[in-house]
Amino acid sequence: MVLGLGKVVVAVFIFPFLNLIQSYSKIPTTLDGPFKPVTVPLDERFRGHATDLPDSDPRVRRKVKGFGPEQISVSLSSTYDSVWISWITGEFQIGENIKPLDPKTVASVVHYGKLRFPMVHKATGQSLVYNQLYPFEGLQNYTSGIIHHVHLTGLEPNTLYHYRCGDPSIPAMSKIYSFKTMPISTPKSYPGRIAVIGDLGLTYISTSTIEHLTSNKPDLILLVGDVCYANLYLTNGTGSDCYSCSFSDTPIHETYQPRWDYWGRFMQPLISKVPIMMVQGNHEIEEQAQNRTFVSYSSRFAFPSKESGSSSPFYYSFNAGGIHFIVLGAYIAYDKSDDQYKWLQKDLANLNREVTPWLVATWHPPWYATYTAHYREAECMKVAMEDLLYQYGVDIVLNGHVHAYERSNRVYNYTLDPCGPIYLTVGDGGNREKMAITHADDPGHCPEPFTTPDEFMGGFCAYNFTSGPATGKFCWDRQPEYSAYRETSFGHGILEVKNETHALWTWHRNQDMYKKAGDQVYIVRQPERCPVQPKVIKLWGTEKSISLSVSTD
């Protein structure tokens, strides 16, 4: 009788465990690939039209008074032991006669500590105000509130910190917020969940994306370009889904800068506690007087540029546990003679894959997307940089720009390659522009080659394929073999790195229940099959280094 009871107890514990193993075994891995291309047909019931939140929505209204801090956000530095806290004080101004606030009148102070009371540490930082100016009569100029950035250092890994920010002398301090630092960089330690979103905007669908994302409890957020779409508006606040269609006769491409403030207020409940890392997109260019560009983007967010040896907010790197992230700029010079390429070479050469085994790169426009929208638009950047990224064994590439979802097989130079990266396009955050629906391989939808230049960098590199199944053509006549899965929908991605070799990628669709996966795969590294070359070894007692081809076989 006792024996029988023991069997029941064993069964109670064993069968759920077996079920768990079986459920995990159903998730494919990249070792099962390359996968046959899959296209999920558009769900005609899902219209996918996004409407912007109006400025009357309580989620975008200013809630603080005077110089109280708002639009509070956390971003990472290059290593676990420091973060940036950013916020804005004072009201923006928009109109023909504006008078910028003086940043010196409000201090930039953060009190922080592992305990809510008392917060034993204090840090101070810098502040600035930016303007968006137009040299044309009738257009309204803009000046921001005072933007503060404070660098917190000496932090412990994987630790919860509490903080308040503002100016205690006014007094104008925020309520208490908290954030958790990244794990120390080792092959055994990783953040739990990294959320990836792109082309987010500020629409009712964007709010659904953020609700779904928040329900997944991310430890870090990566926004792969195109933030608030302020450049779909005239300076008087009139907006359109297609700026060039509706406002073709404007003397300069206008923007409505308050959309940035609305976005910062909407996002504060999330990004005041979960670090967010930004990637420049084309909607952040925002040309203004004297040909100035990217002013709002580079002013509002803190970037670990200096800490990672970069001289620009458009390209930088940082570690999150055993992952090394490289952020690249597709809308600034990237050729081999340019500063960005030289920085990338140096950053990769100094990388120790025994400390950070995973290498993830991100920029805005994808190299391997098969939708008609933006098809092969970033070819010049691909020509300039793909060999270098392949040589150093990039594992995953994250992109946006195309308003749909697509996952590639491992690919290099348009050819299936077991050592190439997996490319993930997640430009499906929910902005007000239309969704990408047609594919370049759909009959009659292949663009004419010379209609696909890189209009922002002024180059054209996308010639007909010279080898493979699409030889002599600009597009494939079917879904390319490097495209594993594609679907037009809105959503976000979650990356969970499990160990040195396995990472779980999950794409979630907004129309599904919160925990359901629209696409899921284990991305598996094979360092023994794909050794990284070259490896730089610094000589003891000298500043020099030598490059050696090293095999780990």
What's 265-291 look like in SS3? HHHHHHHCCCCEEECCCHHHCCCCHHH
Give 422's strand partners. 396
Q: Which of 315, 310, 319 is nearest to 362 (CA)?
A: 315
Q: What's the whole-model pTM score? A: 0.92
Give CA–CA dist 465/53, Å, rounded: 43
Which amino acids are annotated catalytic? 374
| Chain-centre distance for alpha carbon 229 | 15
In angstroms, the first-to-last Cα distance of the chain is 56
Give CA–CA dist 229/251, Å, rounded: 19
Q: How many residues does the chain have?
A: 553
Q: Packing angle between helix 379-391 and helix 339-349, nearest 10 degrees?
A: 20
Q: Which of 322, 359, 173, 197 is nearest to 271 (CA)?
A: 197
Amino acid at 232: L
Give CA–CA dist 522/531, Å, rounded: 20
Q: Give me the pLDDT at residue 310, please.
A: 97
Give 78's strand partners. none
Q: Is 236 left (phi over 0), alpha (psi -120 to 50) or beta?
A: alpha
Q: Give me the pLDDT at residue 43, please.
A: 79
| Helical H segments across 392-507, by residue range | none
* Residue in the structure block whose two tokens are 């952040």: 284
Q: Give me the pLDDT at residue 21, please.
A: 37
Give CA–CA dist 39/53, Å, rounded: 32
Cβ-defined contacts of 511-519 (< 8 Å, 24+): 511/43, 511/46, 514/212, 514/215, 514/216, 515/215, 515/216, 518/405, 518/487, 518/489, 518/491, 519/405, 519/407, 519/485, 519/487
| Helical H segments across 330-469, by residue range | 339-349, 379-391
Q: Which of 84, 102, 96 is nearest to 145 (CA)?
A: 102
Encode pLDDT of 28-60 as tens digits.
999 999 999 999 998 776 666 689 999 999 999
Q: Which of 370, 355, 359 is nearest to 328 (CA)?
A: 359
Cα within 13 Å of Cα(184), Cβ side = 6
Give CA–CA dist 72/298, Å, rounded: 16
Encode pLDDT of 535-549 as tens digits.
444 333 333 333 333
User: Per CATH, which fold does 30-524 belong to?
Assistant: Purple Acid Phosphatase; chain A, domain 2 (3.60.21)
Tally Cβ neighbours within 10 Å of residue 348. 22
Q: Which of 474, 190, 218, 178 is nearest to 323 (CA)?
A: 190
Q: Give me the pLDDT at residue 551, please.
A: 35
pLDDT per residue rounded down to tens, the chain (553 residues): 334 444 333 333 343 433 433 444 589 999 999 999 999 998 776 666 689 999 999 999 999 999 999 999 999 999 999 999 999 999 999 998 899 999 999 999 999 999 999 999 999 999 999 999 999 999 999 999 999 999 999 999 999 999 999 999 999 999 999 999 999 999 999 999 999 999 999 999 999 999 999 999 999 999 999 999 999 999 999 999 999 999 999 999 999 999 999 999 999 999 999 999 999 999 999 999 989 999 999 999 999 999 999 999 999 999 999 999 999 999 999 999 999 999 999 999 999 999 999 999 999 999 999 999 999 999 999 999 999 999 999 999 999 999 999 999 999 999 999 999 999 999 999 999 989 999 999 999 999 998 888 878 878 899 999 988 999 999 999 999 999 999 999 999 999 999 999 999 999 999 888 778 999 999 999 999 998 865 444 333 333 333 333 333 3
What's 157-206 look like in SS3? CCCEEEEEEEECCCCEECCCEEEECCCCCECCECCCCEEEECCCCCEHHH
Write down the domain spans for the chain: 30-524
Amino acid at 395: D
Q: Give me the pLDDT at residue 118, please.
A: 94
